[in-house]
Chains A and B, each alone.
Chain A
Amino acid sequence: NAGVTQTPKFQVLKTGQSMTLQCAQDMNHEYMSWYRQDPGMGLRLIHYSVGAGITDQGEVPNGYNVSRSTTEDFPLRLLSAAPSQTSVYFCASSEKVAYGYTFGSGTRLTVV
């Protein structure tokens, strides 16, 4: 089925570990974004991309890196995990943001 696929669905990390959250879409969307969702704070933008090779920072980029080597993939890297990064992470894509985003099902990350 077409859509946004995120892996893994759940992950537990130890403080200081690094990992990559994967995001792939098969709709040929140019726009992709990563959000984190925390209780009472809605969704906050981490990084976004307007096309392959182009990325930019959102509201809360510290501790995260992204790259966009292809239209389909937009991985999010945690460089050195901290407990403050415990959250649910959502990847989203859009043909044109004014049309609305399609969201993945999320990755629940716990850092201990």
Chain B
Amino acid sequence: EVQLVESGGGLVQPGGSLRLSCAASGFTFSSYEMNWVRQAPGKGLEWLSYISNSGSSIYYADSVKGRFSISRDNAKNSLYLQMNSLRVEDTAVYYCARGRRGAGGYYFDYWGQGTLVTVSS
């Protein structure tokens, strides 16, 4: 069974940093692309970042470019999101999501349960 378990969320002051982790199991982690998606309270979904299976290719949404950094450790079956210079508007539930690529495009087929990040003074 595919499982994605996020951790590392919590309360942080504006300007602070936080590192999220996503532990993967039930599939060959090193074969899959991974993503981070967030959801502000009561709001919709926002894709944040993508990393290829090897880590050699990375994309970011403009809203987090230069502040957030995605990485992975295939030996530990883990995905990470380093978040710096946090803002109040970064308050959200952060999901890791497995990506699948096919002829019909790109989609997120499995999601973790999410971890809440609250940025407040």
Say if A and B assemble together. no
Please report A residues at the B interface, Cβ cutoff 8 Å. Answer: none
B interface residues with partner A (beta carbon < 8 Å): none
